[in-house]
Structure 1
Amino acid sequence: MDLLALADFTLVARHGGFGKAGRAARRPKATLSRRVSELEAALDLRLFERGRRDLKLTEEGRALFERAGALLSELEETAAAIASGGGRVRGRLRISVPLLFGQVAMGRLAAEFVRQHPEVRLEVTTDDRTVDMIEEGYDLVIRVDPAADEALIGRPFLHDRLVVVAAPDLPRRTDETVPVVIRDGDAAEAWTLSTSSGPAAFKVSPIMRLSSMVMVRDAVRAGGGAARLPLSLVGRDIADGRLARWGDVAGSDIALWALYPSRRLLNARVAAFLEFLRQSFPTGVPEELAAYVEP
């Protein structure tokens, strides 16, 4: 099999079209189309369904892309490691992170990581959906309590939980409906909390629905009502007295995981970033992230 043609096929599949792949690699679209056609002829398989405006992988094309993409990446990484002496952390590292973690922590983490490893070209995107690491070309993803996936392995590096907070002057009464600020899409009828004096239930009435937890926190800071928020996001506000902690939301413990494809060798860049996360959050408790977010 022609490995160069196979590499061209994975390039086109990753970018979703000959034109996009050609622009990304600065190669003629016609050349890529010809090379893919030659690969299809050699395999006697149709790898793409070609429409007027779009290009879609066939079932056989998808299977080839998932396996060939990983193998070609390993070959490239092995060659780069040999050329660089095997121990240097260099090259492109693509990471997908949840929106909130990206907003509050990833900018500083990215700067510190690149300062330690100046030959790395780091690319970070924020996305709360479940990305396809192989198809979309990610080396590592950070996700909250991910579902089991045989194709991925990883480790939790941070833990968090939801707490209810409000401005210190907001009355905390269980016999009246509490005005609350919630993230858009969350249900809100009654909240049951674990407090130092036992369980407490509150009837709640949403007066604001906001699209991000950072917006919800800012509204609560301004006295807009009570809210359920990650302890890591409001830990410093609680410690400094800007917000009062009413209690913990029962059963709301979560973990942030760093995941990577199990079919690939753990390259030096991913290994370095995993170690960097371990050093940045050695205990992994919510208060550690809170201190990192607002030093």
Structure 2
Amino acid sequence: MDLLALSDFNLVARHGGFGKAARASGRPKATLSRRVAELEAALELRLFERGGRDLKLTEEGRALHERTAALLTEIDETAASIASGGDTPRGRLRISAPLLLSQTAMGRIAAGFALKYPDVRLEITTEDRPVDMIEEGYDLVIRVNPDEDETLIGKPFLHDRLAVVAAPGLVRNEADKPVPGVVRGANVAQSWEMTTPKGLETVDVEPVLALSSLIMVRDAVLTGVGVARLPISLVSHSLSDGSLSHWGDIEGSEIALWALYPSRRLLSSRVSAFLAYLKEAFPNGTPDELTAYIAR
């Protein structure tokens, strides 16, 4: 297989069209079109659906792109590393991280990593939705309790749990009347099972606020407006100084933050360096370490 033609195919696939790929790379559009046509002829496969304004990958084209893009990147990185006389991390590193971690810790993590590895161009985007790492060009994604995905590998680097907390002035009503609550998401009545010193208990909650961010939920709960479920790392200091009371821990609410990357044998030095940096920042991966990191 012609590696140059394969590289041009991946360039066009990544940018979604010959014109966009030509502008991004400085290569002639006609050359890219010819190379892709030659690759299709050699494979006896149609790799793109041509027609209309958009260029779309066929099923075979998508499979080829997913399986070869990362390998070609590794070849380029290996050649660059050898040429530079070492394996110092360099180049672009794109990471997708969840909202709460981004709001509380990723800024400092990113800054510390950039200072340690100045040749890496680090880009971090914040989103809680599932992402297609290959299609969207991510090198690493950080997710909370991710679903199993045979195309990705990784391991958890932080653990947390959900606690039921409220301002000290909010008293739990024992007469089976729901307590006011602050929730993330749908504004509907809920029942929370929590572990307390007395055992397993249930608290019925009638939301008075529905907010999209856990930071917003925490700030609202501190005013005394209602009870909430929040990560223990986010409220540890408030529990310690008495501005919040701990009602219990949500049963079965263990949280794990995973660093995930495409399952391939060769891992780029940039990703390896970032994984090592996370391990350095959170050596044991406990909620207390995250609390201390946020507070510093």
TM-score, normalised with respect to structure 1:
0.93
SS, match of residue 181 in structure 1? strand
Whether 1:196 and 2:197 are equivalent positions in the alignment is yes
Q: Distance in 2 between matches of 1:21 and 1:224?
A: 53
Whether 1:236 and 2:237 are equivalent positions in the alignment is yes
* 1:171-182 → structure 2 map (5 Å cutoff): 171-175=171-175, 176-182=177-183
* 1:111-150 → structure 2 map (5 Å cutoff): 111-150=111-150
Contact 2:93/2:270, CA 8 A, preserved across alignment: yes
Whether 1:250 and 2:251 are equivalent positions in the alignment is yes
Contact 1:74/1:264, CA 8 A, preserved across alignment: no
Larger mean CA deviation between 139-148 and 115-124 belongs to 139-148
* Amino acid of the structure 1 residue aligned with 2:291: A
Contact 1:89/1:117, CA 8 A, preserved across alignment: yes
Q: Distance in 2 between matches of 1:119 and 1:20?
A: 27
* Amino acid of the structure 1 residue aligned with 2:232: L
Larger mean CA deviation between 143-152 and 202-211 belongs to 143-152
SS, match of residue 131 in structure 1? coil
Instruction: Give the structure 1 partner of residue 214 of structure 2.
Output: 213
* 1:41-190 → structure 2 map (5 Å cutoff): 41-175=41-175, 176-185=177-186, 188-190=189-191
Cα distance change of structure 1 residues 224 and 164 upon mapping to structure 2, 3 Å threshold? same
* Amino acid of the structure 1 residue aligned with 2:196: T
SS, match of residue 193 in structure 2? strand
Quote how far apart the aligned CAs of 1:187 are.
Answer: 5.5
Q: Distance in 2 between matches of 1:284 and 1:244?
A: 25
Contact 2:188/2:207, CA 8 A, preserved across alignment: no
Q: Distance in 2 between matches of 1:55 and 1:5?
A: 18
Instruction: Give identity over the alignment, percent.
Output: 66
Q: Which 5+ residue runs of structure 2 have no aligned equivalent?
A: none
Cα distance change of structure 1 residues 247 and 127 upon mapping to structure 2, 3 Å threshold? same
* Amino acid of the structure 1 residue aligned with 2:241: D
Q: Distance in 1 between matches of 2:174 and 2:30?
A: 70
Residues 205-255 of structure 1: CA deviation (Å, up to 9, x unaligned): 011111121111111122221111111221222122221111100000011
Q: Distance in 2 between matches of 1:174 and 1:10?
A: 63
Q: Distance in 2 between matches of 1:189 and 1:36?
A: 56
Quote how far apart the aligned CAs of 1:256 are.
Answer: 0.6
Quote how far apart the aligned CAs of 1:264 are.
Answer: 4.2
Compute the RMSD of aligned alpha carbons: 1.8
Quote how far apart the aligned CAs of 1:30 are.
Answer: 4.3
* Amino acid of the structure 1 residue aligned with 2:257: L
Number of aligned residue pairs: 295
SS, match of residue 170 in structure 2? coil
SS, match of residue 69 in structure 1? helix
SS, match of residue 40 in structure 1? helix
Contact 2:8/2:35, CA 8 A, preserved across alignment: yes
Residues 48-99 of structure 1: CA deviation (Å, up to 9, x unaligned): 1123132221111011111221220110121122112233121111111112
Quote how far apart the aligned CAs of 1:135 are.
Answer: 2.4
Q: Which 5+ residue runs of structure 1 have no aligned equivalent?
A: none
* Amino acid of the structure 1 residue aligned with 2:113: F
Contact 2:165/2:228, CA 8 A, preserved across alignment: yes
Quote how far apart the aligned CAs of 1:272 are.
Answer: 0.9
Quote how far apart the aligned CAs of 1:2 are.
Answer: 2.7
TM-score, normalised with respect to structure 2:
0.93
Cα distance change of structure 1 residues 197 and 56 upon mapping to structure 2, 3 Å threshold? same
Contact 1:89/1:119, CA 8 A, preserved across alignment: yes
* Amino acid of the structure 2 residue aligned with 1:103: Q
* Amino acid of the structure 2 residue aligned with 1:265: L
